[in-house]
Amino acid sequence: MKNAKSILILGLSLLMAITTIAQPAKGGKKISSDLFGLFFEDINYSADGGLYAELVQNRSFEYNPTEQKDWNPFSYWEYISPGFSYGRVSVETSAPIHPNNTHYLVLDVEHVGNEVKFVGNSGVGLKNSGFDGMVVKSNDRYDFSMFVSQLSKEPISFSISLQNPKGEVLAECKINASSNDWTKYTASLIPTQSCDTASLVILATTEGKFTIDVVSLFPEKTFKKRPNGLRADLAQMLADMKPRFIRFPGGCLVHGDGLGNMYRWKNTIGPVQERKEQRNIWGYHQTAGLGYFEYFQFCEDIGAKPLPVLPAAVSCQNSGGTWRVGGTGQKAVPMNEMQDYIQEVLDLIEWANGPATSFWGAKRVAAGHPAPFNLQYVGIGNEDKITPEFEERFAMISKAVKEKHPEITIVGTAGPFHSGEDFDKGWKIAKDLNIPVVDEHYYTDPNWFINNQYRYDKYDRTKGEVYLGEYASWGNKLRNAIAEAAYMTALERNGDVVRMASYAPLLAKKNFTQWKIDMIFFDNTVICPTPNYYVQKMFSANHGDYYFDKVIAKDEKDINLAASCVQDSTTGDIILKLVNYNETAKPMKVNLGRFGKIVAEAEQTVLSGSPDAENTFANTKNIAPTSSIVKISKSFDYSAPAMSLTVIRLKTKN
Ligand code: AHR
User: In the predicted model, is pLDDT for residue 22 greater than 60?
Assistant: no
Q: 568 and 545 in contact (C-beta within 8 Å)?
A: yes
Question: How far is it, in rounded angstroms, from Cα 433 to Cα 410?
Answer: 11
Q: 102 and 109 in contact (C-beta within 8 Å)?
A: no
Q: Please identify, by atom number, the ligand 1 atom nearest to the C-alpha of residue 382.
A: 8
Q: Where does 205-244 show beta strands of DSSP type E? A: 208-219
Q: What is the largest CA-CA distance in the chain?
A: 87
pLDDT at 325: 52
pLDDT at 329: 87
3-class secondary-structure state, position 254: helix
Q: What value, to the nearest 5°, has the Cα angle with vertex 649 and ends 648 and 654?
A: 140
pLDDT at 6: 46
| CA of residue 252 to ligand 1 center, whole Å | 5
Q: What value, to the nearest 5°, has the Cα angle with vertex 653 and ends 652 and 654?
A: 130
User: In the predicted model, is pLDDT for residue 3 greater than 80?
Assistant: no
Q: What value, to the nearest 5°, has the Cα angle with vertex 218 and ends 215 and 223?
A: 150
Q: 217 and 143 in contact (C-beta within 8 Å)?
A: yes
Q: Which protein residues are within 6 Å of ligand 1, measured from CB? A: 41, 43, 250-252, 382-383, 416, 441, 470, 504-505, 515
Residue nearest (by alpha carbon) to ligand 1 atom 3: 251
pLDDT at 318: 86
| CA of residue 412 to ligand 1 center, whole Å | 16
Phi, psi torsion values for 499, nearest 5 degrees: -90, -35
pLDDT at 570: 95
Q: 358 and 287 in contact (C-beta within 8 Å)?
A: no
Residue nearest (by alpha carbon) to ligand 1 atom 9: 251
Phi, psi torsion values for 237, nearest 5 degrees: -55, -40
| CA of residue 317 to ligand 1 center, whole Å | 12
pLDDT of 51-74, one tens digit each?
999 999 999 999 999 999 999 999
| CA of residue 641 to ligand 1 center, whole Å | 34
| CA of residue 504 to ligand 1 center, whole Å | 8
Residue nearest (by alpha carbon) to ligand 1 atom 1: 505
Burial of 18 (0-12, 13-18, 19+ CB in 10 A): exposed
Output the pTM of the full model.
0.95
Q: Please identify, by atom number, the ligand 1 atom nearest to the C-alpha of residue 250.
A: 6
Q: 394 and 402 in contact (C-beta within 8 Å)?
A: no
Return the percentage of the chain with pLDDT > 70, whole number: 96
Q: What is the mean pLDDT of residues 619-644?
A: 97
Burial of 392 (0-12, 13-18, 19+ CB in 10 A): middle
pLDDT at 323: 56
pLDDT at 321: 73
Per-residue pLDDT band for 452 (boundaries 50, 70, 90) equals: very high
Residue nearest (by alpha carbon) to ligand 1 atom 8: 251
User: In the predicted model, is pLDDT for residue 9 greater than 70?
Assistant: no
Calculate the CA 177 to chain-centre distance: 37
> How far from 602 is each of 181, 309, 511, 575, CA to CA, in Å?
64, 39, 42, 10
Query: Strand 134-136 and strand 195-204: pairing?
Result: antiparallel
pLDDT of 475-490, one tens digit each?
999 999 999 999 999 9
Per-residue pLDDT band for 654 (boundaries 50, 70, 90) equals: confident
Task: Report DSSP letters for 452-509, one per residue.
Answer: TTTTGGGS-TTSPEEEEEEEEES--SHHHHHHHHHHHHHHHHTTTTEEEEEES--EEE
Q: What is the mean pLDDT of residues 308-324?
A: 86
Per-residue pLDDT band for 328 (boundaries 50, 70, 90) equals: low
pLDDT of 263-302, one tens digit each?
999 999 999 999 999 999 999 999 999 999 999 999 999 9
Per-residue pLDDT band for 5 (boundaries 50, 70, 90) equals: very low
pLDDT of 118-172, one tens digit each?
999 999 999 999 999 999 999 999 999 999 999 999 999 999 999 999 999 999 9
Preceding peptide of 99 cis, ω within 30°: no
Q: Please identify, by atom number, the ligand 1 atom nearest to the C-alpha of residue 504.
A: 1
Please choose from 38, 40, 41, 423 the residue to mutate so as to test ligand 1's pocket, defined by most ligand atoms within 8 A of CB.
Answer: 41
Secondary structure of 573-620 as H, E, C letters: CEEEEEEECCCCCEEEEEECCCCCCCCCEEEEEEEECCCCCCCCCCCC
- What does R_g of the chain's alpha carbons equal in angstroms? 27
Q: Please identify, by atom number, the ligand 1 atom nearest to the C-alpha of residue 505.
A: 1
Q: Which residues pair with 147 in a beta bridge?
A: 184, 213
| CA of residue 251 to ligand 1 center, whole Å | 5
Q: Please identify, by atom number, the ligand 1 atom nearest to the C-alpha of residue 443.
A: 4
Q: Please identify, by atom number, the ligand 1 atom nearest to the C-alpha of residue 253.
A: 6
Spatial CB neighbours of 446, under 8 Å, sequence gap ≥ 6: 473, 474, 475, 479, 480, 483, 484
pLDDT at 24: 86
| CA of residue 234 to ligand 1 center, whole Å | 21
Preceding peptide of 611 cis, ω within 30°: no
Which of 383, 440, 470, 492 is catalytic? The answer is 383
Number of H helices, E strands in the chain: 11, 34
Question: How far is it, in rounded angstroms, from Cα 641 to Cα 631?
Answer: 18
pLDDT of 373-407, one tens digit each?
999 999 999 999 999 999 999 999 999 999 999 99
The 10 Å Cβ neighbour count of residue 225 is 10
pLDDT of 605-616, one tens digit each?
999 999 999 999
Spatial CB neighbours of 9, under 8 Å, sequence gap ≥ 6: none
Is 465 a residue of the active site? no
pLDDT at 17: 45
User: In the predicted model, is pLDDT for residue 8 greater than 50?
Assistant: no
Half-sphere CA count of 78, side-chain side, radius 13 A: 10
User: In the predicted model, is pLDDT for residue 23 greater than 80?
Assistant: no
Question: How far is it, in rounded angstroms, from Cα 109 to Cα 87?
Answer: 5
For the chain, the average pLDDT equals 95
Q: For residues 157-183, b (16+ Cβ closer than 10 Å) or e, as one string? A: bbbbbbbbeeeebbbbeebebeeeebe
Residue nearest (by alpha carbon) to ligand 1 atom 6: 251
> How far from 158 is each of 143, 181, 212, 266, CA to CA, in Å?
16, 17, 12, 34
Task: Report DSSP letters for 380-443, one per residue.
Answer: E-SS----HHHHHHHHHHHHHHHHH-TTSEEEEE--SSSSSHHHHHHHHHHHHHT-SEEEEEEE
Per-residue pLDDT band for 18 (boundaries 50, 70, 90) equals: very low
Q: What value, to the nearest 5°, has the Cα angle with vertex 467 and ends 465 and 472?
A: 140
Helix ranges restricted to H, 307-372: 338-353, 359-366
Q: Please identify, by atom number, the ligand 1 atom nearest to the C-alpha of residue 39.
A: 1
pLDDT of 167-226, one tens digit each?
999 999 999 999 999 999 999 999 999 999 999 999 999 999 999 999 999 999 999 999
| CA of residue 332 to ligand 1 center, whole Å | 20
First to last CA, the chain: 37
Q: What is the mean pLDDT of residues 593-614?
A: 97
> How far from 285 is each of 46, 137, 250, 272, 294, CA to CA, in Å?
11, 27, 15, 15, 18
